Amino acid sequence: MTFPGSEPSDPWSVPAPQQPVPPDPVAPGPVIVQIGDMGVTSTVVHTPAGDIPLAGSTWTVQDYWHNEQRIPTWAIVASIVGFCVLTVFSLLFLLVKVTVPRGTVQVTVTNATRQYVARIAVTDQAQVTYVHQQVNYVRSLAAL
């Protein structure tokens, strides 16, 4: 037995009432600071592993540097070009070495049981200083 209005194709049927959608608790807002692959808003730290609350978070920064010795490109080109003119002397260009600083800055954010580590590749001291300044700014936001 069917009741009037119970068939889906019935043009006179009344649709079921829709449940109201609850609003988001607090919209995190735009990203204020980007540190590596972490985006920091006024309330949340967005990481690839999930969101971490900003309030009460602890931030640490560690530098890992090493110096690399390599032959510059200009010395390799000069030795190849010079090999056609002066064979023995052109090989002296291959003795030229340049020290290239390389490393990473490791930024760790911890809040209760959640933790995330971002590793940022850097090639000079200015980049390291910039990351430290960003983390200090986020520390001040986390203390509010």
Residue 55: CB atoms within 10 A of its CB come to 12
The closest of 77, 41, 65 to 125, measured between CA atoms, is 65
Nearest-angstrom CA–CA distance, 123 and 101: 6
pLDDT in tens, 84-132: 777 777 888 888 898 888 899 999 999 888 899 999 999 888 888 999 9
pLDDT in the model for residue 112: 84
For 100, residues 6+ apart whose C-beta sits below 8 A from its C-beta are: 67, 68, 69, 70, 123
Per-residue tokens: 96: 């030229």
